Amino acid sequence: MVVNNSVTEFILFGLTQDVGKQKAIFVIFLILYLVTLLGNFLIVVTIKRSQTLGSPMYFFLFYLSFADACFSTTTAPRLIVDSLSHKKTISYNECMTQVFAAHFFGCMEIFVLILMAFDRYVAICKPLRYTVIMRRHVCSVLVILAWVGSCIHSSAQIFLALRLPFCGPNVIDHYFCDLQPLLKLACMDTYVINLLVVSNSGAICMVSFIILFISYIVILYSLRNHSAEGRRKALSTCTSHFIVVVIFFGPCIFIYTRPPTTFPIDKMVAVFYTIGTPLLNPLIYTLRNEEVKHAMKKLWCGKARL
C-alpha cells in the first residue's frame, strides 16, 4: 500500500509554549540528560574494565545502562534544543526514525529487565545449577535474542506509522514522535491501527510486567529457606530490580494499554519513562549495590592517583 503524504514535516508542540517555562525546561533537562549519560557511562565502563563484576547480573546491567543512554538520547536532546527554538520542526523521515529508535531501545530495556529477573531467579532458586545455566555463551545468546526481539517490535511500530497518511494539521501535541500523537493527525480511521498498537506495545508492557511480578513473588517465596544474611543480600538486589520495574512499567502501561484518547498528563508521564527512568537506573544500581560502588572507587580512584 502506497501512502501519499502532503505533510513533509511536523511541528512538535513540546511540554509548554510558555517562554519562561521553556528556559527552565532547557536548564533542567540539560542537567538531567548530562547526568543520565554520565551515570550510565560510568556503569558501562566500570563493568567493562572491572575484574570483579564478571557475573551474569552485571553482564546484563551493562546492556541495561547502554539501552538507557540510547533511550534517553532518542528524546532528550530534541526536547532540550526545541525549548530554545522558535521553529520546533522535525522532518517526516526524522520523525519516523525517532519512532523506531524510541521503541527499539525502550523494548530492549524491557527484555534486559526480564533477563536480569531470570538471572536472579536462577541464582536464588537454583543456586547449585547457576554456573551451568547462566554460562557466558547462554547470556550472550539471550542478549542477542533481546536485540532481535526489540528490532521486530520496533519494525512493527514503524510499519504501522508508515501506513498513516497525513494531509492536514501537522502539529504533534508532544515533545517527540510517537504513534499515539501521530494517530490523531492521520487522515484516516485509525481504530484498527490503534488496536494493533495496543496489542503490540501494550501487550509487551503488560505481559512483561506480569512475568516480572510473578518471578519476584517466586523469588521472595523461595527466600524463606535461606539464612538471614542470604535473605538480606538477595532482598537488597531484588528490591533494586523491582524498583526499576515499577518506575518503568507503570508509565508505559498507562500510555500504551488504553483506547486512542489523550490526557494533559500524558506528556509528563512520558517524561518519566523516557528521561526519568534512564536517570534513576544508574542511581538505583550504584547506591544500593556495594559491589558496583566498590568497583567504581577502585577503578576511578586508582586512575585519579595515576
Residue length, the chain? 306
| The three cell numbers locating residue 13 | 508542540
Task: Give one DSSP letter per residue of 134-200, joined into a string.
Answer: T-HHHHHHHHHHHHHHHHHHHHHHHHHHHT----S--EESSSS--HHHHHHH-SS--HHHHHHHIII
Per-residue pLDDT at 1: 45
Weakest-pLDDT range from 49-58, 214-223, 231-240: 231-240
Residue 31 has pLDDT above 90, yes or no: yes
Helical ranges in the chain per DSSP H: 19-49, 56-73, 76-82, 92-125, 130-133, 136-162, 179-185, 191-197, 203-222, 228-256, 266-271, 277-287, 290-296, 302-305
Residue 28 has pLDDT above 90, yes or no: yes
How sure is the predictor about 282, in pLDDT bands with cuts at 50, 70 and 90? confident
163-177 per-position pLDDT tens digit? 888 887 889 888 999
Closest by CA position to 116, among listed 142, 144, 141, 151? 142
Residue 260 has pLDDT above 70, yes or no: no
How sure is the predictor about 292, in pLDDT bands with cuts at 50, 70 and 90? confident
Domains of the chain (ranges; CATH) run: 9-305 (1.20.1070.10)
Per-residue pLDDT at 303: 58
57-114 per-position pLDDT tens digit? 899 999 999 999 999 999 999 999 999 888 889 999 999 999 999 999 999 999 999 9
Residue 125 has pLDDT above 50, yes or no: yes
Residue 215 has pLDDT above 60, yes or no: yes
Per-residue pLDDT at 33: 96
Residue 20 has pLDDT above 60, yes or no: yes
Cα separation, 238 vs 247, in Å, equals 14
Single-letter amino acid, residue 135:
R
Cα separation, 300 vs 306, in Å, equals 10
Burial of 210 by CB count in 10 Å (0-12 exposed, 13-18 middle, 19+ buried)? Answer: exposed
121 CB contacts (<8 Å, ≥6 apart)?
A: 215, 218, 219
How sure is the predictor about 197, in pLDDT bands with cuts at 50, 70 and 90? confident
